[in-house]
Amino acid sequence: MEHNLPVNVREYQELAKKALPKMHYDYINGGAEDEYTLRENIAAYGRIMLRPRVLVDVSKIDMSTNLLGYDIPSPIIVAPTGAHKLANPEGEVATARAAAACNTIMHIQVLSFGSSCKIQEVAASCDAIRFFQLYIYKRRDVSATLVRRAESLGFKAIVLTVDTPVLGRREADIRNKMVFPPSPNLEGLMSFNDDLGTGGGSKLERFASETLDPSLSWKDVEWLKSITSLPILLKGVVTAEDARKAVEAGVAGVIVSNHGGRQLDYAPPAIAALEEIPAEQQMHCWNLEHMQQHGGWVAHLPMLIRLLRRWRGPCRCWWTAGSGEAPTCSRRWPSEPRQSWWGGRCSTGWRRAGRPGRST
Ligand SMILES: Cc1cc2nc3c(=O)[nH]c(=O)nc-3n(C[C@H](O)[C@H](O)[C@H](O)COP(=O)(O)O)c2cc1C
């Protein structure tokens, strides 16, 4: 059977498509509106060529770095994605176990607010370093309770998603009348009337419009700082202007992201936005001060590009759903990052229309 195992994420995606109900597959796979940004997220990696340097010893490789004071074996973390039980019955508990087991490739999991497992269950399941992803709700007391819970359960940082004051218009979800499983973490905190009447459409969108606060602003970052001592990362920044404001607001870092093309369509792909942000601000997408001092992002970039263009986006879900297994530290995962090491000895050539390539 071994020889029939998928060898790359596209093959897992095909299996996942067969295994999952259409509504769930489309939710994981889809983007907002015309899905231009979703397509660009992938195409943008294809425009970056690697310039391999030969006759360089790659027998000993070290991708380790430090993120918010935690030494990690590689600069790869598990992004927050909601409702893992849509893809696997064990949900986020299995993901956390895999994150802890894969200590050669990823050791940090960012748990989504929309986790289909209780935050307590995930915390008890393994010793991965965990960050908690938060949205700001109209009801600030709910957001504050979630932050306190994350703090008391040993989560190490709050990842505030700032690109979702309103949910992106995900047309596949509207068509499928997407039903998002209620998050057990909101039980007892917030009730939601999911009776759509005759209106139809995505229940997820309706839940978001009833609960998320569209007045979200920099004042809320101040508010969040006032209620927690945990470091705060802002997720969803794609311009140098906002990165600069984030520094001024005193957050620990920004995560350059367009939410996988699921929020504002025609926003730039994250990998292209990275080019803008370091150029103006000389800082890293994760940990501004550390990386600024060490120039870390430049050192890791070619390797990361190679890896990300093949393994980014919703690949965790394809892998889980396509294999029919809970994610583990599979034989497949470690091999690709190791090959990507070689990329660590390359530099990148950014090739863009109408612009000469340059190396970083
Ligand atoms: C199925 C799915 C669910 C997601 N759920 C969340 C979420 O709950 N919170 C969040 O901040 N981002 C969520 N994301 C976005 C991811 O964290 C991540 O930003 C995206 O997959 C990669 O795009 P990027 O490179 O632009 O960050 C989700 C993505 C997918 C595919």
Exposure on the CB side of residue 27, measured as CA atoms within 13 A: 24
Which of 162, 259, 315 to mutate to test ligand 1, by most ligand atoms within 8 A of the CB atom?
A: 259
CA 41 – CA 262 distance, rounded (Å): 11
Q: How many Å lie between the centroid of ligand 1 and the Cα of residue 112?
A: 9
Among protein residues, the one with the nearest Cα to ligand 1's atom 23 is 260
Exposure on the CB side of residue 317, measured as CA atoms within 13 A: 21
Q: How many Å lie between the centroid of ligand 1 and the Cα of residue 3?
A: 32
The atom number, within ligand 1, closest to the CA of 317 reads: 1
Q: How many Å lie between the centroid of ligand 1 and the Cα of residue 24?
A: 15
- Determine the 3-state secondary structure of 79 from DSSP: coil
The atom number, within ligand 1, closest to the CA of 271 reads: 25
125-155 pLDDT, tens digit each:
877 788 899 999 999 999 999 999 999 999 9
Among protein residues, the one with the nearest Cα to ligand 1's atom 20 is 260
Looking at residue 341, the DSSP 8-state letter turns out to be G
Among protein residues, the one with the nearest Cα to ligand 1's atom 11 is 161
Q: How many Å lie between the centroid of ligand 1 and the Cα of residue 322?
A: 19
The atom number, within ligand 1, closest to the CA of 256 reads: 27
Q: Which amino acid is at 129?
A: I
Exposure on the CB side of residue 19, measured as CA atoms within 13 A: 19
CA 292 – CA 288 distance, rounded (Å): 6
Around ligand 1, the residues with Cβ closer than 6 Å are 28, 79-82, 112, 114, 133, 161, 235, 257-260, 262, 270, 312-314, 317
Strands (E), 76-180: 108-111, 129-134, 157-161
Exposure on the CB side of residue 256, measured as CA atoms within 13 A: 25
The atom number, within ligand 1, closest to the CA of 28 reads: 1
CA 122 – CA 193 distance, rounded (Å): 27
Among protein residues, the one with the nearest Cα to ligand 1's atom 27 is 257
The atom number, within ligand 1, closest to the CA of 159 reads: 11
Which of 205, 235, 262, 285 to mutate to test ligand 1, by most ligand atoms within 8 A of the CB atom?
A: 262
CA angle (253, 212, 238) in 5-degree steps:
35
Residues 172-194: b if buried by 16+ CB within 10 A, e if exposed: bbeebebbbebbebbeeebeeee
The atom number, within ligand 1, closest to the CA of 164 reads: 11
Q: How many Å lie between the centroid of ligand 1 and the Cα of residue 180?
A: 15
Q: What is the CA radius of gyration of the chain?
A: 20
pLDDT of residue 163: 95
Residue whose token pair is 């940090």: 108
Q: How many Å lie between the centroid of ligand 1 and the Cα of residue 82?
A: 8
Q: How many Å lie between the centroid of ligand 1 and the Cα of residue 56?
A: 36
ipTM exceeds 0.90: yes
- Determine the 3-state secondary structure of 245 from DSSP: helix
pLDDT of residue 102: 67
Contact 134, 146 (CB under 8 A): yes
pTM, rounded to two decimals = 0.83
Which neighbouring-strand residues pair with 66?
71
The torsion angles phi and psi of 79, rounded to 5 degrees, stand at -70, 155
Name the token pair of 256.
């350059």
Contact 49, 357 (CB under 8 A): yes
Among protein residues, the one with the nearest Cα to ligand 1's atom 6 is 81
- Residues tagged active-site: 259
Segments of the chain scoring below 50 in pLDDT: 1, 104-106, 198, 279-307, 309-313, 316, 327-360
Looking at residue 259, the DSSP 8-state letter turns out to be G
